[in-house]
Amino acid sequence: MNLHEYQAKDLLTRYELPIPPYEVISSGEEISSSLSKLQIEEGVAKIQVHAGGRGKGGGVKVFKGRDSANSVIGELLGMKFSNNQTGGKELLVERVLVSPLVEIASEYYVAVTMDRKRQCPSLIVSPSGGMDIEEVLLTSPHKMLSEPVTYYGKIYDYRLRRCMKFLGWTGKLAEQGVRLMKQLVRAFMENDASLIEINPLVVTKSEELFILDAKISIDDNALYRHSVLSSYYDPSQENIRDVMAKQVGLSYIAMDGNIGCLVNGAGLAMSTLDILQFYGGNAANFLDVGGGASEDQVREAISLTLSDTNVRVLFINIFGGIMDCSVIASGLVSALGQGEISKIPIVLRMEGTNVEKGQELLKQAGLEFHSVNSMDEGAQLAVKLSQENGKV
Ligand code: GDP
Ligand code: MN
């Protein structure tokens, strides 16, 4: 789960980290009181959406004076933001963060995240922080240093000293830097984060460190033990179908292809995506209905998949072990009964427990579908139909 910048700052404030004061504004009426609270007339206004690259996309603006604040913040509130980080979605700006201007001498990048190769958390630092970091790290990987954190969340002092040397920080600056990085690692561990990214971390002319932007992701599987963080969930920033699936207890992940998939088991779902890709197709979603899905859940899953207007064909790939094929069939009949499947061909590969009963149910309901005997055959047909149907 991703946090908004203001939520990330709320969390980091508990670790006594240097963050300039900020207020969150959600309507024009709040501008004046927020600026008074901050005791500022000029500052920076930043849209609160689950996407980076706001600066380049016009979502970070400086204002000078009340009039300018009113017009700048007024424009940002209600704006729809999209860029290559919003997954084709337009994110509605419901909140704007305001903060005093900090005089930046230089911008740095610091992050704590999981290092899959090392199989442990790592601290990553770069002296090339700021809005071009993605490009910098792609073209000049030597401008980044990554130091491992132990499994139990300790970062050794010599590793921190290496980071300071790499960033060129000495004396008072290095003291602040070491403290800040230790606290970030602590925050990462204690909150079951999968990412804490500070970009930019800035140094002022008087050699003071400030966190100007923070991005935090929390491991969904650990949310049950962080009630405050769970309450930070903002469905307005998520894909609508992901949100609906979560409500009915399905694991659904939206993707940008046109073959709707309904599969049981995460492993089979992954290989379904692979095989569709192999035959030149693209899945519209990852959907694991699991082993114990009810008829209602199957119906919801089908409706959900078909509510994606990109979907040109539905590929049902069930290998029923624990999953009962007749439950899938009943769910399918029930979804079709609601008229959810109009003109969309269905490719059905169903094997295993109660398969005969399932097929019988489908026959009785008079449903039209392409029945296939193997996953391979089904994938090829689904890809073919998605291409034919896409041309219409
Ligand atoms: P992002 O583009 O979504 O990552 O948004 P950021 O919060 O990182 O803001 C983008 C850029 O705006 C930063 O890299 C800074 O250069 C600039 N910026 C943000 N806050 C301040 C501030 O308080 N003072 C100044 N001078 N610049 C700021
Ligand atoms: Mn940033």
Q: Which ligand is nearest to the CA of 130?
A: 1
Intra-chain end-to-end CA distance of the chain, in Å: 38
pLDDT of residue 293: 78
Report d(CA 100, CA 37) in Å as an integer: 11
Q: What is the pTM of this model?
A: 0.82
pLDDT of residue 367: 79
pLDDT of residue 143: 95
Residue to substitute in 12, 48, 60, 103 for testing ligand 1 pocket (most ligand atoms within 8 angstroms of CB): 60
Which of 316, 257, 310 is CA-nearest to residue 282? 257
From the CA of 170, how far away is ligand 2's center (Å)? 25
Crossing angle of helices 266-278 and 375-391, in 10° steps, is 60
The amino acid occupying position 274 is D
The amino acid occupying position 383 is V
Report d(CA 91, CA 148) in Å as an integer: 35
Distance of CA 108 to the CA centre of its chain: 24
From the CA of 323, how far away is ligand 2's center (Å)? 45
pLDDT of residue 324: 84
Strand pairing partners for 252?
287
Tokens standing for residue 56? 């380049």
Q: Residue 94: enclosing H or E segment and its boundaries?
A: none
Residue to substitute in 213, 215, 216 for testing ligand 1 pocket (most ligand atoms within 8 angstroms of CB): 213
Confirm if 60 and 45 have CB atoms less than 8 A apart.
Answer: yes
Report d(CA 150, CA 220) in Å as an integer: 22
Q: Which ligand is nearest to the CA of 48?
A: 1
pLDDT of residue 337: 67
Which of 214, 123, 207 is CA-nearest to residue 168? 207
Crossing angle of helices 295-306 and 325-337, in 10° steps, is 50
Whose CA is closest to atom 17 on ligand 1? Answer: 55
Q: Which residues contact 297 (CB under 8 A, 6 or more apart)?
A: 248, 249, 250, 289, 331
pLDDT tens track for 252-299 = 888 989 999 999 888 999 999 999 999 999 999 998 887 777 888 888
Confirm if 358 and 389 have CB atoms less than 8 A apart.
Answer: no
* Cis previous bond, 21, omega within 30: no
Active site residues: 109, 197
DSSP label at residue 283: B
Which of 229, 270, 154, 224 is CA-nearest to residue 2? 229
pLDDT tens digits in sequence order for the chain, 392 residues long:
999 999 999 999 999 999 999 999 999 999 999 999 999 999 999 999 999 999 999 999 999 999 999 999 999 999 999 998 887 788 999 999 999 999 999 999 999 999 999 999 999 999 999 988 888 888 998 999 999 999 999 999 999 999 999 999 999 999 999 999 999 999 999 999 999 999 999 999 999 999 999 999 999 999 999 999 999 999 888 878 888 888 888 888 889 899 999 998 889 999 999 999 999 999 999 988 877 778 888 888 888 888 888 999 999 998 877 788 888 888 888 887 655 455 789 999 989 888 899 888 888 888 788 999 999 999 999 999 999 876 54
Report d(CA 347, CA 324) in Å as an integer: 18
From the CA of 387, how far away is ligand 1's center (Å)? 44
**Residues near ligand 1 with C-beta < 6 Å?**
44, 46, 52-55, 60, 99, 101-102, 104, 107, 130-131, 199-200, 212-213
From the CA of 6, how far away is ligand 1's center (Å)? 14
- Count other Cβ atoms within 10 Å, centred on residue 149: 23
Q: Which ligand is nearest to the CA of 44?
A: 1
Report d(CA 2, CA 297) in Å as an integer: 26
Count Cα neighbours of 345 within 13 Å in the Cβ-side half-sphere: 18
Q: Which residues contact 373 (CB under 8 A, 6 or more apart)?
A: 349
Strand pairing partners for 313?
259
Report d(CA 209, CA 218) in Å as an integer: 25
pLDDT of residue 213: 97
Report d(CA 199, CA 187) in Å as an integer: 16
pLDDT of residue 299: 85
pLDDT of residue 246: 82
pLDDT of residue 392: 40
